[in-house]
Each structure stands twice: as C-alpha cells, then as structure tokens.
Structure 1
Amino acid sequence: MTGREWAGRVAFYVVIALITAFMAIPVLWLLSAPFDTAPTLTTSLPDWTWQNFTGLLENPYALTSLGNSILLSVGSAVLVTVLGALAAYALSRVSIPGRDALLYVLLLLSSIVTGTAAMVPIFLLMFELNLIDSQLGVVLVLSGGLLPAAIFILKDFMDATPRSYEESARVFGAGPLQILRDVVLPTVRPGIATIAVWAIVNVWGNFLTPFILLRSPEKAPAAVVLYTFYTEGGQANLGLISAFSLLYSIPVVAMYVFVNRRYGFRFHGGIKR
C-alpha cells in the first residue's frame, strides 16, 4: 500500500469517526440529561438525581399519554397491515386495466397531499362523522394516510410469492382467505413486520393530527403532552423533557430490536424460486 492510499484510508476513517461522534451526541444527551439535577443543552456527566422522573409521576397526563400513544400506534398498525395485505393481495392476483397506474397515483397523492395540507377537509369530515375528540377518528385518519404506501410495498412481496404454492393449496380445497392466511402471509412475514413497525413509528411521532382532533387532555398521546412541558413564555423544562423523551423512546427502540431480530426488515419481497 502506497503512502497516498494509506493517508486516504486514514482520512476516510477519521471522517467516519467524526460523523459517528456527531450523531452520538444527541443520544448521549438523552441518556445523561434525565438524571441531571440541572440539565442543559450541553452533554456532560450528570449530577445524579431521580427528581425529573418524580416530576413526571406527579404530572397527571404524562404516563397516561404513553398508553394513549401505544393505543393509537398499535390500532393504526393493525388497520394498515390488515387492510394493506388484503388490498395488496387482491391487486397482485387480479389483473385490471390501469392497476399499476392506480397504485402510483395513490402513492403520489399520499406524498403530495400530506396531513398538513388536508387538515381542514379532514377536520370537517371528522366533525360530520362526530369523531372529534375520538381516538378512533385519529386512528382512521392516520391509517388512511399510511395505506397507499403500505399497499404499494406489500404488493411487491405478494408479487414475488410463487403462485404454485397457492395452486397446490387450492387443489386441496383451500379458499382464498385460507390461502392468504396459511400460504401467502407466512411467506411475506418480513414485509408485514416492516409495514407494522413503519406504521407504529409514523403514528408514534405524529403531533399535528391528534393535536387538532383531540380535545380532552386525558386522550392526548405523548407527542402532544411533550408540548406542554414548556412555559407560557416558551421556556423549555429540560428536566421533564429529557426524562419524558427517554421514556418516550424506549418502546420504539425495544420494538425495533425485537422485530429486527425475529423477522428482519426488507422493503422488497420475494423468496428464491
């Protein structure tokens, strides 16, 4: 190895180390600030205390909001995966004119017409359906926004499933739903896991939709309650915010590790034929 190649490799590793250190600073702050008596925006060794977590326990909505976030996220994930799998399987197995164009149009519209742009008509629709201040209304709105992309991704998994498996099951008298449940879904489990985690993460961090549609503080998810840890003058209570952020991130990290170890993540389907 020449001197120039050696210097280039050293420079490359130095840059990677600097980028890694830069990305690790927020994580280090999240791990240290909740246990500091007077946390600041800098990362330092904390003056250990449990006072910040005690303050969260005294807040009547902090822990309840985490349960609300779990309810909204899991409800939306179940709805998106079930309806997305059924729609993707139907679109994969039935040939209709303009099928692919329809998928691309749905995906395009779901990317362009975001929740912010469509919030006024969505609010009016929820008002007409009497779903204002209803967690069901939030689940329906968020699920509707995630479904096009979920169908688009799951269809790729459905397309890559060999139809010979389904034909064999059909010979033994299996119906369409039984084939989907016992043959197709076990084959596309990585795709189902990916969509479920993706839906949970999107709903878990969503602020605008529940903030607009929910009126009762006891129904608010964690993303909305986190906004209340600011004074009227906009001053952040870093102690409560850091402690709550740590609790807020644990379920998502644990879910990601569990699903990744058990199923893995893929955004393309298929098995070797």
Structure 2
Amino acid sequence: MTTVLEKSSATEPATPRERQRRRVPIGRTIVVLLIALFSGWTLWPLYWMVSTSLKSPLEATNLEPTVWPHSLTLDNYQGLFSSSIPFGTYFFNSVLTALIAALVAVLLSTLAGYSFSRGGYRLNGVTSITVLATQMLPLVVLIGPLYLLLLKAHLLNTYLGLIIGYTSFALPFGAWMMKGFFDGIPREIEEAARVDGYGRLAILFRIVVPMSLPGLVTTAVFVFMNTWNNLLYPLTLVSTDSRQTLPAGLMQSFSGTFKTDWGGMMAAALITSLPLIIAFFAVQRSMVRGMTAGALAGT
C-alpha cells in the first residue's frame, strides 16, 4: 500500500510554487554570470593598466602581448619622479586646482540652489532653466570666449585662470543638484527658525546646509572628478609645465613621434586614478544617499 502511494506521489505534477522554487536558482545563476561577465569587462582595462605598468619597456612594446609580466619591475614608477618629466608638479597642480574648484563650486552652488529652491522672485523659474540650458553647450564652444576673457585679464598660465574655468562649467550642474536637495527639506523648519529671529543666511548655513550634507559631499565629489579629468581647459589655457595639470601634461610627456613609453604611461595613469578611487570609496555612502535624495526631491 505504501509503495503505491509513493509511486502516485512521485508521478503527481509539480505545483506552481514548486516550479517557482526550481526556477529561482536558475535565475540567480544567470544573474550572477551576467554580473561576473560585466565586472570582468569593466575591470579588465584596470588590470591591463596595472600589468603594463609592471613590465619592462621591451615587454610592454612586444608584438605578442603577455597577460602577466614575465619579470616584475618598478622602474616605470621610479622613472616618474627621477626622469625629466615634472610628474610631481603636474600632480600638485591637479590636486590644488581640483580641490579649490570643488570648494568654490560647492559654495556658489549652495547659494544658487537655495535661491532657485526658495526664491520667490518673478524670474526664478526662467533663471534656473537658463542656467541649466548652459549645460547643453559643449566645452569646445565655451573655450574660445573663455580664452579671450582670461587673455584680457592676464590670467593665462595661472592657477586662478584654471580654477575660474573649472568652476564656471561646474556651477550649472552643482546648482541644480543642490536645488534638488533643498526641495526635499521641509519649509516649516525654516519658518520656525525665522520666528526665532534667524535671517536668510543664518537659516541657510546653520540649519539647511547641515541637513543637506550628503548633497554637499555628492556635489563636491562630482566637481572634483570632472575637474581632475578635464583635458581641454589645461591644454588650451596653460602652456608652461609649472602650471600644467596631469591629463594634459601626461599626454604631452609620454606620446612621442617615433616611440611611446607605454609602461611609464600606465604607471602614471594608475597613480592619477588613485585619488579618484580613494575619494569615491571614502564618500560612497554619502554619494548614494545624496543622489537618491536629490532624485526623490526632484520628482
């Protein structure tokens, strides 16, 4: 009797819930495989950069490339600071201009974003849309007028000229991002502070800004990354090595007419990428919180 029941239960068709349980592991396996595939596709250039930076000049230019260097060497990293290439000067200039541009852009974006969010003047909407419309203009269109402006002001080949160029292009993006964060802050908090006798600036810097700290961090990191990676501005506005930044300086230093130092270029690219990687992982949580908060506030 029991054997007959076991046979009948074994031949019964699976219920929909059991079928769903069987499909879940297959779906998860496919998702894991796709994530692994895209991760490998994304990380492979980084691995190749690290691998090439550890190869000798002969192996780096071999017609049959090797996946892993046969003989590890650190000569490419040592050559960055011992050769005639002013890599240390380029690095210092990039850090200085990117940090100052990020701080200035965040300060001005905070004021502009708060004005767009809380301003009750007549042309508030038109002004905010006009500022956003400037992001539609590419850098190539802005570089000519900016060059003539800095030429008349005698700011070419200066830190101040670079910072002005970086900040001017980052302001529209930063202002609208900060506007999204300020829109998510209840107005009742500001009204209560106004009853206590606070002015506009006091409310902004003592109450609103501390509440929108993830937004400030997100805006600062985005401006820093865009400034650090900018090639066109320093390539056009700077002509001396003493004021040149990393993107333009490295492009002019390692690419020759008859020979390209691939090992040195990859070593320089790896060191150049480290500040961005460190900055991203250091403020990753704040960036995710800030981006989601700004997206929800703007809807």
| Displacement of 1:265 | 4.3
Q: Among 213, 219, 222, which residue is 2:246 paired with?
A: 222
| Displacement of 1:251 | 1.0
Aligned to 2:113: 88
Aligned to 1:145: 169
Q: Among 23, 27, 37, which residue is 2:46 paired with?
A: 27
* Conserved? CA contact 1:190–1:263, under 8 Å: yes
Q: Among 121, 128, 152, which residue is 2:145 paired with?
A: 121
- In structure 1, distance between residues paired with 2:190 and 2:248: 46
Go from structure 1 to structure 2 and tell me whether the alpha carbon gap of 1:68 and 1:46 turns closer, same or farther (over 3 Å shift): farther
* Structure 1: gaps of 5 or more residues: none
* Per-residue deviation, residues 121-177 of structure 1 (Å, max 9, x unmatched): 211111111111111111111111111111111111112111222222223322222
Q: Among 221, 234, 251, which residue is 1:210 paired with?
A: 234
% identical equivalent positions: 27
Q: Highest Rg: 1 or 2?
A: 2
| Displacement of 1:98 | 3.9
Aligned to 1:49: 73
Q: Among 1, 9, 14, which residue is 2:33 paired with?
A: 14
| Displacement of 1:261 | 4.3
* Conserved? CA contact 1:56–1:244, under 8 Å: yes
- In structure 1, distance between residues paired with 2:106 and 2:210: 14
* Conserved? CA contact 1:189–1:263, under 8 Å: no
Q: Counterparts of 1:58-97 in structure 2 under 5 Å?
A: 58-59=82-83, 60-97=85-122
Go from structure 1 to structure 2 and tell me whether the alpha carbon gap of 1:231 and 1:156 turns closer, same or farther (over 3 Å shift): closer
- In structure 2, distance between residues paired with 1:6 and 1:160: 40
| Displacement of 1:264 | 4.5
Paired residue secondary structure (1:229): helix
Go from structure 1 to structure 2 and tell me whether the alpha carbon gap of 1:66 and 1:46 turns closer, same or farther (over 3 Å shift): farther
* Conserved? CA contact 1:39–1:239, under 8 Å: yes
Are 2:63 and 1:39 equivalent residues in the alignment? no
- In structure 1, distance between residues paired with 2:233 and 2:115: 30
Aligned to 1:158: 182
* Per-residue deviation, residues 11-36 of structure 1 (Å, max 9, x unmatched): 44433322221111112123322222
TM-score (norm: length of structure 1): 0.89
* Per-residue deviation, residues 53-99 of structure 1 (Å, max 9, x unmatched): 11101234101111100111111101110001011112221212342
Kindly provide the amino acid, as one letter, of the partner of residue 37 in structure 2.
L
* Conserved? CA contact 1:66–1:222, under 8 Å: yes
Higher helix share: 2
Taking only aligned residues, the RMSD between alpha carbons, in angstroms, comes to 2.3
TM-score (norm: length of structure 2): 0.82
Report how many residues are paired: 270
Are 2:159 and 1:135 equivalent residues in the alignment? yes
* Conserved? CA contact 1:135–1:214, under 8 Å: no
- In structure 1, distance between residues paired with 2:179 and 2:98: 23
